[in-house]
Structure 1
């Protein structure tokens, strides 16, 4: 969250002639803690946008009023994550103004409805629904809020926080199993459409994996915007390389590293599996990764260029091509599992199925795992269910073969 202006109204931005401009507001929010007020304001703003036929990606300017700008600045890293949890990385240009109470007011430009296909047989609205899990799962906001609360509590049990870069966006939480020396390492990468969430938010879902005698590392990475997906891929590669090189220092087995990720994290682990590690650093082994599990992953980014989501991602045609695992060589010779919920959209299921089918013709160790009845959010929670196929697959891959 970056402020373009302070102590002045946001200037009017002329909408394109075929767009409709609307103003949405949270109304005044007060009486709770600052972070609770931010969550309430973001939710109220989202509801008012929807009431007027707009969505978060349509935001062009955001005016934030607060009775204490200094306190707002001091809490900005946490506020940024809370806003993103509700509205993603859709800020537009922001002004911060002192006022009697906290409020968010957004000017949004709604594009015209198009009925012609923009990708496969989907028009823009239909394609957007396919790639909008928060819309298709009514309880999504409650699930993500529970992740934040439970993940924050679980984070207190971490063994160490490891830095692999210049700031808190480049950190890793490490959880070592008790009584196990030199445990194999499983690295988990969170989702959030590259725009939201934090390393702590799904960490509690990996508790049972740690109890199975496997060390777990959860990654932070810079979020879009301002980061690009290419930047995030580069940083995740740096994080994995750092974990490999510092294994002895932190007490896990760097020679047996497996990875998993959910949604955007599922895309990122597929990009890591497509990485030729000696080209990154000649001291890294080609087989650095011993197994990959992509949960509800995105393997072809081209459809995302045609929906409002791309206002935050800023993918070009070249970006979509070079950052789509479907179009890259699967360099890793280790097993790969493309997992997805049976209650997810057709497009999310197609992406995982197509990727598995593409490589299964060439490799015997590529599996497609569809879990009946699970949606885009409950599917990753299967990591915490010791009876689930997902948990069993992750644990099986994460333990070295005798």
Structure 2
């Protein structure tokens, strides 16, 4: 499969909507119930958990992140999780549902906010996601985080942002080593943004062909390929399944995990339970870091 082939070629606008409009696929009642569960489960996961919420990580935007699951006197490996929402919705408070599970297994969790479209461009959101990783590397020790054991993950648009931290070419400007991201786990990631040009999301994302290509991990340098697990639900939108199936062989340093019976929204919730397939895969990435 040639990554240069446009995955939207030959598809009608209606077919693209079916492939990428996962909110419609879920239906309004299920979608609203899941969004409420994200917040409720995140609140429950961090209740009483050691950590530091509301840290400003980026002076330019003023955006903040929450640190959860640290312990005094030790540096813990850290999972930086970037929320989804098609770059136009979501918040860090909805995205910490895995923090308690990881804390019990010696891993801290960092959940950043980022400014949403249309207030800013997708390119600016990418800059902020990278700035969050840079904050962990430069300041993590002050908060019990091990800068040498950073794993980045995210869902949907957060999967795209994860991909944009995996590639080369941005680390030096932020004073980071090339291998600052030691491993990654994008869920339902968008690695080629060209199909988004014809999906409703672009009313806010405001991408054109040049920016969509420039902001696609599939077209960016990846000489150093960190270990990665590419996760997606078997019942996800067909566009997201196709994106992971296309990009995983290109990356070539980690498996494609298709979680049976899971869709775009509930596959990440499996991270609450250490015995699910996705949690075992994530914990395996941390074990391999030593």
TM-score when normalising by structure 2: 0.90
Structure 1 match to 2:205: 313
Structure 1 match to 2:218: 326
SS of residue paired to 1:203: coil
Structure 2 match to 1:373: 261
**1:328 Cα offset (Å):** 1.1
Structure 1 match to 2:138: 245
SS of residue paired to 2:87: coil
Which of 136, 144, 148 aligns to 2:39? It is 148
2:241 pairs with 1:353: no
**Cα gap change, 1:177 to 1:164, in 2 (>3 Å):** closer
2:11 pairs with 1:122: yes
Bigger RCO of structures 1 and 2 (CA < 8 A, at least 6 apart): 2
Deviations 1:246-304 (A, max 9, x none): 122111211111111011000001000013354323x3111111100000000110001
Which of 201, 204, 211 aligns to 2:97? It is 204
**1:153 Cα offset (Å):** 4.5
Distance 1:239 1:265 in 2: 13
Structure 2 match to 1:12: none
Distance 1:199 1:175 in 2: 12
**Cα gap change, 1:253 to 1:126, in 2 (>3 Å):** same
SS of residue paired to 1:366: coil
Structure 2 match to 1:163: 56
Check conservation: 1:274, 1:330, Cα contact below 8 A. Answer: yes
Distance 2:200 2:163 in 1: 24
Check conservation: 1:190, 1:197, Cα contact below 8 A. Answer: yes
Check conservation: 2:235, 2:261, Cα contact below 8 A. Answer: yes
Structure 2 match to 1:286: 178
Deviations 1:217-246 (A, max 9, x none): 111111111111100001111111111011
2:228 pairs with 1:336: yes
Check conservation: 1:245, 1:254, Cα contact below 8 A. Answer: yes
- In the TM superposition, what are the counterparts of 1:205-284 in structure 2 within 5 Å? 205-281=98-174, 283-284=175-176
Distance 2:122 2:95 in 1: 20
Q: Say which structure is richer in strand.
A: 1
- Structure 2 stretches of 5 or more lacking a match? 1-6
Distance 1:150 1:176 in 2: 15
- In the TM superposition, what are the counterparts of 1:67-86 in structure 2 within 5 Å? none
SS of residue paired to 1:174: strand
**1:126 Cα offset (Å):** 1.7
Check conservation: 1:191, 1:262, Cα contact below 8 A. Answer: yes
Structure 1 match to 2:4: none
TM-score when normalising by structure 1: 0.66
**Number of aligned positions between the proteins:** 280
Check conservation: 1:287, 1:333, Cα contact below 8 A. Answer: no
Distance 2:78 2:88 in 1: 26
**Cα gap change, 1:217 to 1:331, in 2 (>3 Å):** farther
2:285 pairs with 1:397: yes
- Structure with larger Rg: 1
Check conservation: 1:187, 1:257, Cα contact below 8 A. Answer: yes
Of 147-156 and 250-259, more deviation after overlay is shown by 147-156
Check conservation: 1:134, 1:141, Cα contact below 8 A. Answer: no
Q: CA RMSD in A?
A: 2.0
**1:152 Cα offset (Å):** 3.5
Which of 196, 202, 207 aligns to 1:304? It is 196
